[in-house]
Structure 1
Amino acid sequence: MKKLIIFLIICLFSISSVGCSYSVYAKKEKKEKKVKTEIIAHRGADDRAPEETMSAFKLAVKDKADFLEMDLRETKDKKLVLMHDPTLNRTTNGKGDVSRFTLKQLKKLDAGSWFNRKYKNERIITLEELINRYGSNTKYFIETRRVNNKLKMEEPLVKLLNKKGLIKKKKVVIQSYSAMSLQKIHKLNKSVPLVQLTLFKSKKEFTDKKLKEWKKYAMGIGVDSKLVDKKLIDKMHKNNLKLYVFFLNDKKEKSEQKRVINAGADGVFTNYITYTKSLTKSSK
């Protein structure tokens, strides 16, 4: 009888140990589950078509990027056009500040030949034209900025996004280096997800005070890849902030992408959509 009792105790202990081990393992598995890194097409598919043009965005949509990324500039007649630079010089056959021209004047420019002759007469497009083409069939990652150091584009932008139903359908994220721009958007519509872009040179600058300040209006931050590692990503996640990565060093972008995706970045602004997709698949 005594031997039977000892045997039963041993069995119960073994079952309990296995159960505990499984429970710990399951929790660990849940904790270590990889973040799905979102593919954000930087200025469209700008490796194969002139940046921020309809052709570049068309390729990005075809490649099934999670987001189309774009920069806003305001014209003389207050239209929101898609262009990164403040001037026309680099990506069109025009010269001068975008803000000095009306949309009608800008539409006469060639925005494609600089990239490749086959894109001759590609036109500058407005944000509304892009939305009219793709609607809610894709998502938009839109960068705002101050115009002549003033907050001008926020109200017309939110009005347009509301009109097209993109905020309600959760099809848009707005990003900016300007905290003032994001704060104004947050006051206009608290439902818009916002990302604070940063140009910090050191990880020490991501202080608890700074994170607390960002969390008042933003759901995430944008960081140069050279500062990104698992420790920084974990710090952001513990503070309920997502981390999106951009690449200031073009030559190292591909190798850096692999590193930050494996570290658990929430999204990457990629200039190589198909390459990034291969990385996100292999990291699952």
Structure 2
Amino acid sequence: MYYSIIIILFILLTIASLTRKSKKEDREVLIIAHRGASGYAPENTIAAFDEALRLGADFIELDVQLSKDGEIVVIHDLTVDRTTNGKGEVRDYTFSELQKLDAGSWFHPKFRGEKIQSLDAVLDRYKGRTGFFIELKNPALYPGIEEKLAETLKRHNLHKDGDVVIQAFEKASIKRCKAILPEIQTGVLIKFTVKGISNEQLLKLSEFTDFINPNKQLVNKRLVKRVHHYGMKIAPYTAKDRASVQFLLHAGVDGIVTDYPDYIVKN
């Protein structure tokens, strides 16, 4: 009788353990490749995006601005200085001029010839293969960029599904995007501040956004729970080492923006 009870208890504990493990493993964490797999290839280029897909990213994160002639182009900085062999502000170049720049050699000579891409070209190449976190960079400098982005997404039939998240640090820009495309997912990026993020801020943000994407230094389990309480998801930026990835996974985030997609191993 005694041994039977022990065996039953052992079985029950084993089942409970497996159930807990299953629940943990079933939780999907989005792998969001920061400017592509930018730890391995020059950011915001085809090489980085291709590598991100090879490494299993669920989304590629990319930055958009407008060229002089109104093309939506994929580049992070206000100027072309850091990531190309050119000089000057992005908005002072036509798209044709931007495409003549070398956007790969700065990272490594083997990437010589990588080009600044149009958003159209990126969507054409990767639609149906991965999702997109599209960040509006410096939107105040580009009046009407929200409308142009909406038109582009509509052309590619990406304005209604869950494959796109439009994000920015500027809340006004995200509000405009949501007004133009009510069904699109949006995200607000939040810089680090010692004050953190208040419940009042979260309540206001929940009125027009779906994701809160803060600097990873702001994240802890309590913040994740509060974000979820207000009906939003959280995808912090930017994990550049395995320790940061593990910390964010333990905190229970919904997605992780990382230069190294292979650092996030799904069960």
Which category of TM-score, normalised to the shorter sequence, fits these structures? 0.7 to 0.9
Question: What letter is aligned with 1:159?
Answer: E
Distance 2:219 2:53 in 1: 28
Q: Secondary structure, in 3 states, of the residue corresponding to 2:235?
A: strand
Alpha-carbon distance change, 170 to 148 in structure 1, aligned in 2, over 3 angstroms: closer
Say if 1:146 and 1:181, in contact at 8 Å, map to a contact too: no
1:142-181 per-position Cα deviation (integer Å, ceiling 9, x unaligned): 0013445454310010111111111223210111101011
Distance 1:261 1:90 in 2: 32
Question: What letter is aligned with 1:48?
Answer: Y
Say if 1:136 and 1:169, in contact at 8 Å, map to a contact too: no
Backbone CA RMSD of aligned residues: 2.3
Distance 1:205 1:227 in 2: 6
1:217 correspondence with 2:205: no
Of residues 247, 252, 264 in structure 2, which corresponds to 1:259? 247
Question: Which residue pairs with 1:67 in the alignment?
Answer: 59
Q: Secondary structure, in 3 states, of the residue corresponding to 2:117?
A: coil
Say if 2:159 and 2:184, in contact at 8 Å, map to a contact too: yes
Which range moved further: 77-86 or 238-247? 238-247
Question: Which residue pairs with 2:176 in the alignment?
Answer: 184
Percent identity (aligned) = 33
1:110-132 per-position Cα deviation (integer Å, ceiling 9, x unaligned): 11111111111111101100111
Q: How does 1:28-39 map to 2 (within 5 A)?
A: 33=24, 35-39=27-31
Distance 1:64 1:36 in 2: 13
Question: What letter is aligned with 1:180?
Answer: A
Question: Which residue pairs with 2:257 in the alignment?
Answer: 269
Question: Which residue pairs with 1:247 in the alignment?
Answer: 238
Question: Which residue pairs with 1:5 in the alignment?
Answer: none
Distance 1:138 1:43 in 2: 13
Work out which of the two has the higher radius of gyration on C-alpha atoms and give 1 or 2. Answer: 1
Of residues 215, 219, 230 in structure 1, which corresponds to 2:221? 230
Question: Which residue pairs with 1:138 in the alignment?
Answer: 130
Alpha-carbon distance change, 33 to 274 in structure 1, aligned in 2, over 3 angstroms: closer
Which range moved further: 174-183 or 230-239? 230-239
Distance 1:126 1:182 in 2: 21
Aligned residues: 252
The 4+ residue runs of structure 1 with deviation greater than 3 A are 32-35, 145-151
Q: Secondary structure, in 3 states, of the residue corresponding to 1:69?
A: strand
1:153 correspondence with 2:141: no
Q: Secondary structure, in 3 states, of the residue corresponding to 2:222?
A: helix
Question: Which residue pairs with 2:154 in the alignment?
Answer: 162
Of residues 98, 109, 115 in structure 2, which corresponds to 1:106? 98
Distance 1:29 1:120 in 2: 49
Say if 2:192 and 2:217, in contact at 8 Å, map to a contact too: no
Of residues 33, 36, 45 in structure 2, which corresponds to 1:41? 33
Say if 1:77 and 1:102, in contact at 8 Å, map to a contact too: yes
Which range moved further: 58-67 or 73-82? 58-67
Q: Secondary structure, in 3 states, of the residue corresponding to 2:214?
A: strand
1:61-86 per-position Cα deviation (integer Å, ceiling 9, x unaligned): 22220001000011000111111111
1:226 to partner: Cα distance? 1.5
Question: What letter is aligned with 2:247?
Answer: R
* TM-score normalised to structure 2 length: 0.87
Q: How does 1:87-106 map to 2 (within 5 A)?
A: 87-106=79-98
